[in-house]
Amino acid sequence: MRRFVAVSLILNILVCLLVGCAKDVSVEDCIGGIDYSSSMSALMYEQIAGEEEGFYGIQYHEVIDINGITAQTDIPVVLYFYSSSATGSQSLTAGVEDLAQTLSGQVLFVSIDGVEADEVSTAYQLAGYPEFILIRDGARVATFEGYNYEYWDINDVTWWLEDYGFTPDMSLLEG
């Protein structure tokens, strides 16, 4: 069953790329409501509902169309694959949230629980967790393979993104 789902996902991506079905798709078309329990979430820096005007933060929106998000050309995407069964991943996820905030408008971060969304991690041929994949204009540009390093932290991911032209606005973390 997993192999069928992975093959189906790959075929859907190829069909969309060949016939251009995602050209008019926007990020908003591909995400749902706020859901902190979803296995795939777009990390959106936005006004927090119910708070006073100007109170912004990272909110997790359920991804309802991962193919659409990766095929759209409005904004580059970083897929952050992690394992929900791994211990100690909270600090890395907090760092990814900081990156999503400081790169808001430049890059869209999508967190994907590779254990729960197994078909997606299979389609991207992951060899381990955590892993980051940069997608620009519907194509995979680069991969940061965390398992290849003896030690690394979120600063290494930040430098990796800077190598591809994305500079965090650290002033967004103040206050």
> For 28-70, what is each residue's pLDDT tens digit?
999 999 999 999 999 999 999 888 888 899 999 999 999 999 9
pLDDT at 6: 46
Q: What is the pLDDT of residues 74-121, one digit of tens each?
A: 999 999 999 888 766 667 899 999 999 999 999 999 999 998 999 999
Residue 161 predicted with pLDDT over 50:
yes
Separation of alpha carbons 23 and 25, rounded Å: 6
Pairing of strands 108-113, 40-47: antiparallel
Answer yes or no: is pLDDT of 15 > 80.
no
In the chain, DSSP finds a helix count (H) and a strand count (E) of 6, 7
Residue labelled with tokens 């430098």: 159
Cβ contacts of residue 11 below 8 Å, gap of 6+?
none
With CA atoms as reference, report the closest residue to 42 among 97, 120, 118.
97
Compare 148 and 12 and report the one with higher pLDDT: 148
Which band of pLDDT confidence, cut at 50, 70 and 90, is reported for residue 10? Answer: low
Question: Which residues, in sequence order, are CB contacts of 75 under 8 Å at separation 6+?
Answer: 27, 105, 106, 107, 108
Give the number of other CB atoms < 10 A from CB of residue 90: 8
Instruction: Give the residue with greater pLDDT, 104 vs 5.
Output: 104
Least confidently predicted of 95-104, 125-134, 145-154, 158-167:
145-154
Distance of CA 149 to the CA centre of its chain: 21
Asked whether the whole model's pTM tops 0.85, one would answer no
Which residues make Cβ contacts (< 8 Å) with residue 52, sequence separation at least 6? Answer: none
Cα Rg, the chain, nearest whole Å: 16
Six-digit token string for 12: 């859907």
Residue 128's pLDDT is 85
Whether 3 shows a pLDDT value over 70: the answer reads: no
Kindly tell me if the per-residue pLDDT of 11 is higher than 70.
no
